[in-house]
Structure formats: structure tokens, C-alpha cells
Amino acid sequence: MEEVNSLDDWRHCFQAEISDHSIRSEWQPKYTDGRDAQNRKGRAMGLTGIVLAGGLSRRLGRDKAIEAIGSEPLISRVIGRLSELTSETVVVVNNETRGEELPLPKNAKTVIDIYADSGSLGGIFTGLTAATNEWGFVAACDMPFLNAGLMRQMIALRPNYDAVVPVPDGYPEPTHALYSKACLPHIERRLKAGKLKIAGFFDDVRVRYVSADEIDRFDSEHLSFFNVNTPEDLSRALTLAHEGK
Ligand SMILES: Nc1nc2c(ncn2[C@@H]2O[C@H](COP(=O)(O)OP(=O)(O)O)[C@@H](O)[C@H]2O)c(=O)[nH]1
Ligand SMILES: [Mg+2]
């Protein structure tokens, strides 16, 4: 990214349409004089990256989070792309051993599911609870092709909503979405009732759905949502990574 010295330059830096003042003040300019490294990287201050990593990888038959995609484990790739845009990383696992085994950067916070066996909805609840920021960008640990342009756009869409959820093909992608802590009581109510479908609580909060057309502007192939579940998915991911995706 080029050096930025003025607000105008800075706005050109991001493809996101920044129309709301609160967002404008939250994104920080990239200084040339060595101020705060996080700001220079263009991260959204006040945003936590939440990586869901408590799954069983049943269909792959082995732990997909540590499969090498290109030069790094899948989960490292996910964390790397998320951390470009966030100021904190929380990895949600389902037990202590898994947290110790995963190759995580030192500054990542590992947390264990508060509600055991509650799937990805439970993971979102735990990650959002542990986040020190009001908002979390949730991603599954098996999504190798997170797209910075789309994520920035989603981040810019937060004002006046409690969640930002893409809908690429008629169905929401709730494990590639932004949630604010305002969602927590609604999620918890459903967890306590054993209702684990993530989208089940969407009617209780203000959701900004991101349409296929809006997604296409940044990620026409919708690779953002591609996730590695089967051996076939893994070989496709390797091919795509080899092509530089
Ligand atoms: N922390 C946590 N994460 C989970 C749990 N179940 C699934 N996940 C994660 O949530 C994401 C989506 O999970 P899901 O679609 O159910 O399973 P998949 O078949 O592994 O993609 C994956 O990154 C999983 O690792 C859980 O009980 N706890
Ligand atoms: Mg998956």
C-alpha cells in the first residue's frame, strides 16, 4: 500500500465506501513518520478477529486447521489475513489440548468454548465474549481465501447495525460475518435452549445483509466463503493457492 499523508490519500487507499463519520474516525491514516505500527497497517481499531477452530474435521478425517496451504498451515493463513484488518485475534477452541497444539502467533488469545458442544454458534458467543472490542469479525479456520477488499467493505457497513452478514447465493454465510456485542444476549438465549442454527438469532438484531452484487465487486468468484471440508476441497485449495489466490 502506498504512503498516505492526507485524509484524501487515505480514503483512496481503501476500496470501502466510507460514508459514515464514526467509521472515518475509526480507520487510522497510514503515517510516514513511524507512529503506531497498527495504524500504519491500516487496521480497523476497535475490531477483534475471531477464528472458530473447535470443529472435528470429520469429513477430512484429520485436523484441517494444520494442513499446509501454500507455505503455511491453513489456520495461520486465516489468522494472517484477518489480522491485517483487526487489532486483536481471538481463537476459539473446544478444549485446552487443542489450544496448545495449534500453531498460533504469540499475540493471539486462545479461549475455550463457554458452552460445550454448541457448534459454531457457541464459538461465536465465546469469541465475542472474550473480545475486548465491541465488534468481532468471525471467520472459520478453514477459509483460505479471505478477501481484504470484501472484509473492508463489510467493516465499513457496520454503523446502525448489530451484524453484517454476506448472502452470496441466497443463504447467509454466518461464519464469515461481523457481530457486535449487542448480539450476545440473543445468542445466549438460543444456546441455552439448545438451538444452534446461527441464523436463528438474526431476526432479533439489526442485520446488514451484503448482497451477491455487493460481494461481486470485490470477490466475483466468492472464494471468500470457500471452506475446506473434504479431501477434494483441500486439493482445490492447494491448486488455488498455487495460482496465487
Ligand atoms: N469453537 C468451536 N468452533 C467450532 C465448533 N464446531 C465447529 N466449529 C468451527 O466452526 C467453523 C464452521 O464449522 P462447521 O461448518 O460446523 O464445520 P466444518 O464442517 O468443520 O466446516 C469451523 O471453523 C469449525 O472449526 C465448536 O463446537 N466450537
Ligand atoms: Mg467448513
Q: Over the stretch 86-137, which tens digit does the pLDDT of each residue have?
A: 999 999 999 999 989 999 999 999 999 999 999 999 999 999 999 999 999 9
Confidence of residue 53 (pLDDT cuts 50, 70, 90): very high
Residue 32 has pLDDT above 70, yes or no: no
Taking a C-beta distance cutoff of 8 angstroms, is the pair 229, 140 a contact?
no
For residue 159, pLDDT beyond 80: yes
28 close to 97: Cβ distance less than 8 angstroms: no
Distance 22 CA to ligand 2 centre (A): 34
Task: Quote the ligand 2 centre to 33 CA distance (angstroms).
Answer: 42
Mutate to test the pocket of ligand 1, among 97, 120, 138, 229 (most ligand atoms within 8 A of CB): 120
CA atoms within 13 Å, Cβ hemisphere of 71: 2
Q: Which atom of ligand 1 is nearest to the CA of 117?
A: 27
Rg (CA), the chain: 17
The pLDDT-based confidence of 83 (bands split at 50, 70, 90) is: very high
pLDDT over threshold 60, residue 19: no
Q: Which neighbouring-strand residues pair with 27?
A: 44
pTM assigned to the model: 0.85
**By C-alpha distance, which of 39, 18, 48 is closest to 159?**
18
How is the beta sheet containing 135-140 ordered, strand by strand?
A: 108-112, 88-93, 47-52, 135-140, 176-180, 163-166, 207-210
Distances (CA, A) of 17 to 11, 70, 159, 218: 9, 32, 13, 12
Top-level CATH class of 43-242? alpha beta
